[in-house]
Amino acid sequence: MKMRNKIIILCTLLLLFFQVNLYAQVAVKIKDLIAIDGLKENQIYGYGLVIGLQGTGDSKVALTRSSLSNVLKNLGLNNETINSKNIAAVLVTATLPPYVRVGDRIDVTVSSIGDAKSLEDGVLLQSSLKGADDATYVVAQGMLSIAGDKRKGATIGKIVSGGIVEREILPEVVVNGTIKLALLNFDFSVANEVKTAIEKKYPDARPVIDKGFIQCSLPQNITTAEFISTIENIEVVPVYSARVVVNESNGTIVMGGDIRVSQAVISKSGVTITIEETNKKGSLYLMKDAATVKDLVDSLNYIGMSTQDIIAILKAMKQAGCLHAELIVQ
């Protein structure tokens, strides 16, 4: 058994020794790295009733009955009582994109808040969707579509283009002649790369990094849309801090291809792998210094280590200072 383990380790380390790192940094467009301050979506929501259900609506929800009674009163039908399971109380939610105009249509999501078994084949009655300021921005109505396995019942549905915009939200992108760009994942090195690229293209923009933003002055003789469009399509080569992300629940490990590990001796389940700084003559159990995490994980997989064992080894290496990256455990 010991001889078998030695042979496996020998083959693995020889493969690692001759492996060539083919990973290279990739240029990406600035628009994939940033968000423009002031240009954001807005969440809206409202209460409504879904009708036309086939006996799968609310059964013992007083709110549903009183809401239906109010709807009938608005239609001039007073003192009418309907006991039916064809109605359901729902919350209607949507996301209002920037620069939508009055009359534009957006998708809305409808979710049951009572004891309805299914909203399939239901129709949402006209519902007002409000923002955080309690103003109505969208009015929604229409037939629901249900995704997924309908046999299991569906209490969440969608109405494609079921909301009509009644009020606009115009974002302020330029404030006092300045546009702020926020990195999606802030990193000073990446921020400096973006700043330098913008400065090279538009010296008059005078970009500076301040309080987590890259602030640019809007150059003269150019529109806001043209300026933003141009800088969004500038390519840079971002260099982010090295990260290894592991998900313990499903065993997923995500990492960059060039994250390094230094000298270490790893012993697990009777198997030992040694990572040393130099290759000593006559030794076949050495893996050269600055091998990557990918090399290590590949070798551990090759000799039959379980995913949980690999995660445990990565944690231990991080604690020992041998893993040169941020380890994120989910």
Per-residue DSSP letters for 20-40? --------EEGGGTEEETT--
Pair 304, 315: CB distance under 8 Å = no
Band the pLDDT of 302: cuts 50, 70, 90.
Answer: confident
Q: Is the model's pLDDT at 142 over the cut of 90?
A: yes
CA dist list (Å): 45 to 97, 111, 205, 248: 14, 11, 39, 35
Q: What is the mean pLDDT of residues 148-160?
A: 75
What b/e string do you get for 265-304 counting C-beta neighbours within 10 Å, with b at 16 or more?
A: ebebeebebebbeeeeeeeeebbeeebbbbbbbebbeeee
In this structure, what token pair is assigned to residue 22? 């083919």
Of 61, 46, 50, the C-alpha closest to 119 is 50
Question: The pTM is what?
Answer: 0.64
Of 285, 296, 288, the C-alpha closest to 325 is 296
- Domains of the chain: which residue ranges? 2-25+241-329, 28-38+172-236, 42-165
Q: What is the mean pLDDT of residues 106-129?
A: 92
Quick: pLDDT tens for 258-292.
Answer: 666 666 666 665 566 666 544 443 333 344 444 67
* Structure-model confidence comparison of residues 32 and 8, the more confident one: 32
What b/e string do you get for 131-150 counting C-beta neighbours within 10 Å, with b at 16 or more?
A: beeeeebbbbbbebebeeee
Quick check: helix, strand or coil at residue 307? Answer: helix
- What is the average pLDDT score of the chain? 78
Distance CA 235, CA 324 (A): 27
In this structure, what token pair is assigned to residue 277? 């700084």
CATH number for the segment(s) 28-38+172-236:
3.30.1360
Question: How many angstroms from the chain centroid is the CA of residue 298?
Answer: 28
Quick: pLDDT tens for 192-230.
Answer: 999 999 999 999 999 999 888 999 999 988 998 899 999
